[in-house]
Structure 1
Amino acid sequence: MIGQVAVRRFPALTVSTPRIEVRPLTAGDAEAVDEIFADRQTQRWLPVAESAGRIEGHAWCTELARQRRDSGDGDHYAVVRREDARVVGCLWTRRTDWGARVTEVSYALAPHARGFGLAAEAVDALAIALILEHGLQRVEVRVAPGNVASRRVAEKAGFSYEGLLRNAGFVRGARVDLELWSLVRADLH
């Protein structure tokens, strides 16, 4: 077919560790997602304009996730704590380049789940699965300077700091620099 480009759908993915499971979000996760994105600390670092309002959990878990997955750009995931089967966080992949085999992962955790290493565990498990099971060569994390908690997640998940991307992002609608962190296939050997 001339003029048509095949779009690769983002792969279905569920990964488990002894403490958590990372799985695609469902409509039933909407209330937990609302709680996570309503948190002031989370809102402080989200790459959305304040005027955009809040992220609506049901849309995030259903149509927005489906659109991202079907376009091949990424997916939205729940971080489920095994001890009580509670959704305690969200991960999402985006900016996937299937030619270069690169994607970016972002994350947010509910306030009650912070400080236990769950975010780093989830990011690490997801990144490793994307590399080993789905052929990606590089997974990136971008962190706004000043977001110390996010930087710690990247470090603990085994990502390497590569440098500063000047004026590359926005937080609450304002332009910011972004720290670039990566995990590549060679890091797993």
Structure 2
Amino acid sequence: MSGHVAVRRFPTLTVSTPRAEVRPLAPADAKAVGEIFADKLTQRWLPLPEESGRIDAFAWCTEMAQERRDSGAGDHYGVLRREDERLVGCLWTKRTDWGSRVTEICYAIAPEARGFGLAAEAVDAVAIALILEHGFQRVELRVAPGNTASRRVAEKAGFTYEGLLRNAGYVDGGRVDLEVWSFVAADLH
């Protein structure tokens, strides 16, 4: 036994729904990604401390996504609206635990695409693909209390509320509790 642990590479994933396509981000997506992350409401709920500054959209679409994929930690995706092929959302996976087959999904939707159920549709499709096609057993969402839009996404995507992690996260305004929502393999039966 060498004591060496092989790192799992996060699976390449593209999923289609009636109204959206979720696919890995590409360098050409950087402008739209930058606009999504620059939105004030998105910034309010991003799990980034205020002092971290703005997200470099080109790096998010290229080397940051590649790093996350290669390390096995997750991936970065774009949500394209079918009706006009516009990139209207970002979805990313993180905190992947290969031993437990668990990962977390995060998302941000452009202001003009909010309120139409695209986030829930994309999150649901990715969660199902991760479970059915890639053997994950649990997919989590973590939502800051007060982010009612994100809570609605979790509910509409079929996730189950499990409880509150006290002082477990941070958003633009500082430390916050986080609601934990889950979708597990048994939810598909």
Q: TM-score, normalised by structure 1?
A: 0.98
- Runs of 4+ aligned structure 1 residues displaced above 2 Å come to none
Whole-Å separation in 1 of the counterparts to 2:45 and 2:116? 20
Within-5 A mapping of 1:100-179: 100-172=100-172, 174-179=174-179
Within-5 A mapping of 1:84-99: 84-99=84-99
AA of the residue aligned to 1:29: D
- In the TM superposition, residue 52 of structure 1 has moved relative to its aligned partner by 1.4
Cα-to-partner distance string for 1:20-51 (whole Å, 9 max, x where unaligned): 00000000100000000000000000111222
Summarize the Cα distance change of 1:158–1:86 in structure 2 as closer, same or farther, 3 Å threshold: same
Residue 153 of structure 1 aligns to a residue in which SS? helix
AA of the residue aligned to 1:57: A
Unaligned runs of 5+ in 1: none
- Quote the residue 2:58 is aligned against: 58
- In the TM superposition, residue 173 of structure 1 has moved relative to its aligned partner by 6.0
Residue 28 of structure 2 aligns to a residue in which SS? helix
AA of the residue aligned to 1:34: G
Cα-to-partner distance string for 1:149-176 (whole Å, 9 max, x where unaligned): 0000000000000000011111126111
Contact in 1 for aligned 2:44/2:173 (Cα 8 Å): no
Whole-Å separation in 2 of the counterparts to 1:93 and 1:173? 23
Whole-Å separation in 2 of the counterparts to 1:128 and 1:135? 10
Unaligned runs of 5+ in 2: none
- In the TM superposition, residue 83 of structure 1 has moved relative to its aligned partner by 1.0
Measured on the aligned residues, the alpha-carbon RMSD in Å equals: 0.9
Whole-Å separation in 1 of the counterparts to 2:117 and 2:49? 29
Number of residue pairs the alignment of both structures matches = 189
Summarize the Cα distance change of 1:44–1:173 in structure 2 as closer, same or farther, 3 Å threshold: closer
- Quote the residue 2:183 is aligned against: 183
- Quote the residue 1:9 is aligned against: 9
Contact in 2 for aligned 1:14/1:22 (Cα 8 Å): yes
- Quote the residue 1:78 is aligned against: 78
- In the TM superposition, residue 3 of structure 1 has moved relative to its aligned partner by 2.9
Residue 133 of structure 1 aligns to a residue in which SS? helix
Within-5 A mapping of 1:24-39: 24-39=24-39
Whole-Å separation in 2 of the counterparts to 1:161 and 1:112? 28
Contact in 2 for aligned 1:48/1:173 (Cα 8 Å): no
Whole-Å separation in 1 of the counterparts to 2:173 and 2:72? 26
Whole-Å separation in 1 of the counterparts to 2:170 and 2:88? 25
Contact in 2 for aligned 1:92/1:107 (Cα 8 Å): yes
AA of the residue aligned to 1:18: P
Whole-Å separation in 2 of the counterparts to 1:48 and 1:145? 16
Q: TM-score, normalised by structure 2?
A: 0.98
Identity of aligned residues (%): 77
Contact in 1 for aligned 2:96/2:104 (Cα 8 Å): yes
